[in-house]
Amino acid sequence: MMSSTAESQLQEIDVSMLKHWLDRGEAVLIDVREPTEYASEHIPGARLMPLSAFDPSKLMPLTDKRIVLQCQSGNRSTQAAQKMLAAGFDQVAHLQGGLPTWKAAGYKTEVNKNAPISMFRQVQIVAGSLVLIGTVLGAWISPWFLLLSGLVGTGLAFAGITNTCAMAMLLAKLPYNRRAVHTGNMIF
């Protein structure tokens, strides 16, 4: 099943179409999630080009096949598709519903139990810890420590509004997050 919107030239394909194309060698699957997400679990054969470093020009050599973008829910693959369309690609396809729909259809994924925890969980752990520390120190030592909790809350609100997270960008630079993915699967 394929659907297309005239204004964006973005095709949403379902998992059966993607599986068919992959089995026949007619498509290249590009995973636009972050390296830690990819390292934890991905569709076999998917190549990694995270949205944070997405460069459509790197995909030009792959244009002899259909390029299909995939993420966790479809949001990031839609953003990457818009970048490809702006760069001059005629048509771009992405997997409707992302990785969960692939798994729900019963198709296999490659899972790495030794991969670092997801970036989202890392942000939750760090942000929650900072808020807790700020609150405890603010109650026991000095009310000025409550500013730490306020700054973290402001940062999280900003991340939600702008869809960019400075804390995640900083955490992504940590060594255990940078070596999470074998570079042979990366396209940049």
CA distance linking residue 164 with residue 63, whole number of Å = 30
152: which 2 tokens?
């973290």
Catalytic annotation present for 165: no
HSE-up of 119 (CA within 13 Å, CB side)? Answer: 24
The kind and range of the H/E element at 111 are strand 110-111
Write down the catalytic residue from 49, 69, 71, 181.
71
Q: What is the DSSP letter of 186?
A: B
Cβ–Cβ < 8 Å for 78, 92: no
- List active site positions: 71
